[in-house]
């Protein structure tokens, strides 16, 4: 007699009982009577605690996957938003320069900053435009906000810009609306002083500072900054004005070289 037959003979009663129970449940739960349906519901309610952990695990896995998808979508939206902001800022800068061109007969040569040097007190920068682009010595340089310096040396493909922050830089300016004229010089932290102003001049905080008609190389009426302080010296017939540049010299990356149309 085989081993399987011996096992079946020893457990014949138990095996028969299990088969009968399984058959009975199969027949019961395949019955469509109302009593059986209600019994199914009651059975499920009674033993619901057995499959509750599995449902909880499924929910956690679903939420984790959903969180990963949402995080990925959020990252994509953030990146797209940053790209849109960059394009918006570029459009604003170009619109501001178009306003310059409408007002005066200027041409603008766009340039990128290729070097800011190693000094913390930045006084000059290098740009990627030169003789082949029509750049000339003493051409004014500005950002979309206003004047920042002038060309001091050039090569075929690059040029050096002397910034307003150079201690040797001087510029003839006027303060509007009264057209009070003076000389601009750097004092630090994006601020300048305007000296040689008549003490009787009517200057107010917030007045706009422009290039004057007396400047040799700079066309008149280019924006530079605004008045943030006014000081009178008791031992002098002049007053001193403190001005804040419109342009932040520490963040410039793109700029424009200004030329008269006749230079091109």
Indicate whether 35 and 135 sit together in one domain: no
Q: CA–CA separation, 129 vs 103, rounded Å?
A: 25
- pLDDT at residue number 263: 46
Indicate whether 97 and 117 sit together in one domain: no
- Quick check: 253 and 116 in contact, CB under 8 A? no
Name the residue range of residue 36's domain: 3-46
Interacting residues of 221 by C-beta distance below 8 A, sequence separation 6+: 103, 104, 210, 211
Cα 60 to Cα 54, 55, 63, 214: the distances in Å are: 10, 9, 5, 75
Domain count, the chain: 3
- pLDDT at residue number 139: 94
- Quick check: 257 and 109 in contact, CB under 8 A? yes
- pLDDT at residue number 189: 87
Indicate whether 249 and 179 sit together in one domain: yes
Indicate whether 38 and 119 sit together in one domain: no
Q: CA–CA separation, 246 vs 190, rounded Å?
A: 9
- pLDDT at residue number 197: 87
Interacting residues of 92 by C-beta distance below 8 A, sequence separation 6+: 144
The per-type count for the chain, helices as H runs and strands as E runs, is 4, 12
- pLDDT at residue number 264: 42
With respect to residue 239, please indicate whether it lies within any of the assigned structural domains: yes
Q: Which two tokens stand for residue 246?
A: 């419109």
Question: Using alpha carbons only, how large is the chain's radius of gyration in Å?
Answer: 41
With respect to residue 67, please indicate whether it lies within any of the assigned structural domains: yes
Indicate whether 190 and 118 sit together in one domain: yes
Give per-10-residue mean pLDDT for the chain (264 aa): 60 66 61 56 55 63 71 64 60 59 68 76 87 93 91 93 93 90 92 87 90 88 92 76 92 85 49
Indicate whether 23 and 124 sit together in one domain: no
With respect to residue 29, please indicate whether it lies within any of the assigned structural domains: yes
Indicate whether 138 and 115 sit together in one domain: yes
């Amino acid at each position: 007699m085989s081993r399987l037959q011996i096992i079946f003979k020893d457990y014949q009663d138990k095996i028969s009982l299990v088969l009968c129970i399984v058959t009975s449940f199969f027949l019961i739960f395949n019955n469509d009577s109302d009593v059986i349906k209600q019994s199914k519901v009651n059975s499920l309610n009674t033993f619901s605690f057995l499959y509750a952990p599995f449902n909880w695990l499924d929910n956690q896995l679903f939420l984790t996957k959903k969180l990963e998808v949402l995080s990925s979508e959020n990252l994509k939206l953030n990146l797209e938003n940053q790209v849109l902001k960059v394009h918006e800022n570029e459009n604003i800068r170009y619109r501001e320069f178009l306003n310059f061109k409408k007002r005066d007969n200027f041409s603008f040569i766009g340039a990128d900053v290729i070097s800011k040097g190693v000094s913390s007190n930045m006084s000059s920068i290098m740009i990627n435009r030169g003789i082949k682009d029509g750049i000339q010595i003493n051409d004014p340089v500005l950002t979309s906000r206003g004047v920042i310096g002038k060309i001091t040396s050039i090569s075929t493909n690059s040029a050096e810009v002397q910034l307003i922050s150079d201690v040797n830089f001087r510029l003839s300016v006027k303060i509007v609306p009264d057209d009070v004229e003076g000389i601009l010089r750097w004092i630090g932290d994006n601020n300048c002083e305007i000296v040689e102003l008549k003490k009787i001049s009517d200057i107010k905080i917030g007045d706009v500072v422009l290039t004057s008609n007396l400047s040799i190389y700079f066309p008149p009426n280019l924006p530079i900054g605004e008045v943030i302080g006014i000081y009178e010296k008791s031992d002098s017939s002049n007053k001193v004005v403190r001005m804040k540049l419109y342009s932040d010299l520490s963040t410039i990356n793109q700029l424009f070289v200004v030329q008269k149309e006749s230079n091109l």
